[in-house]
Amino acid sequence: MTWIRLAVITVLTITHAGCGGKSETTGSESGSETTTDGTTSDPTTTTTTATTTTDSDTAGPTGSETDSTSDTTDATTEDTTDGTTDPTDPSTTDPSTTDPSTTDTDTGGGECIEKECGGKLYECGDCIDNDNDGLVDAADPECLSPCDDDESYFATGLPGDNMDPCNQDCFFDGNSGSGDDKCQWNLKCDPENPGGDDCPYDPNFNNCPEEQMQTCLEECAVPNGCDCFGCCTVTFEGMDYDIYIGDPDCSLANLDLCQPCTKNFDCDDDCEPELCEVCFGQDPEDLPPECDEPECGEENLPCMVDNMGGDNCPDGQYCANGCCFIIPG
């Protein structure tokens, strides 16, 4: 910010007729703005005063304001400038110390690190934007875990994983079969018919357990808003929908291709955003403003993930719904 201080000392000599040439001198000094007004009692004597105002103020990037006024001076007026004048043009402003083009890109994540599942590297752990949507791995809502080999849809894309048209185990464990998680369900039991023509709803089917084994409840890591068999609640335009994410064409971008489903309430993990829980298909930015960080319980750490797939979870864990989970497999 450049200030030009012009000190003007104006000497006004007023000669009074009939007073023996007695003179009176008055001096005034101004700071950033000086106004001098002179009058002459003798109508035959003309005294021209000079008014010089220089005000140069620069207020950061909002611009500068310069006001300069100059009146013609008579030879009888004496101007004295006190101080050193910057040879720089007073209309020139100093550059701001802040570059307005600089933006903060830190989102609280970290460098993307490849995450293997069972010794293998899949699409949702390879640090590559495989579906070209600008979101990598855990940042992509269609990536359920590093054990997911399809960034485009909710279905994992793993050979044999959840491929039985009827029998279902834990949808989120990265494998097929209930041997390790003891979760059991059949799509024939669901009146919403998520199995479609491959496994239609059968009202007479009698193997529809309402309760799951304790091992299933403990071992199946279910995202907020889902049950352990892949029936999840998503919010679209203010409405909640229960969709079966095992459908190979189901994604957030194509919800009309997702089949409706009925949750198994024994292993359903309701999402409670008012308690700072990040719901399925959302991220921490969707939390209410009063939430400082996602609620993850006592066993999981809250986490952040940036668009390039970098998160701040410990080694061997991945970030999903704002919480760190141990990589299955």
User: What amino acid is encoded at 182 in this protein?
Assistant: K
User: What is the rounded end-to-end Cα distance, in angstroms, of the chain?
Assistant: 62
d(CA 277, CA 270): 10
Q: What's 266's DSSP letter?
A: G
Question: 10 Å Cβ neighbour count for 66?
Answer: 15
Provide the 3-class DSSP secondary structure of residue 192: coil
The values of phi and psi at residue 257, to 5°, are: -95, -5
d(CA 141, CA 226): 14
At 7, list the tokens: 């000190």
Q: Average pLDDT per run of 10 along the chain, which is 329 residues long?
A: 33 35 38 39 38 38 37 38 42 38 43 91 95 94 90 79 80 69 91 94 92 91 92 89 90 90 93 94 90 92 94 93 88
Note whether 221 and 296 are within 8 A (CB).
Answer: no
Radius of gyration of the chain (CA): 38
pTM over 0.75: no
d(CA 129, CA 239): 29
d(CA 102, CA 109): 20
Note whether 93 and 2 are within 8 A (CB).
Answer: yes
pLDDT at 62: 34
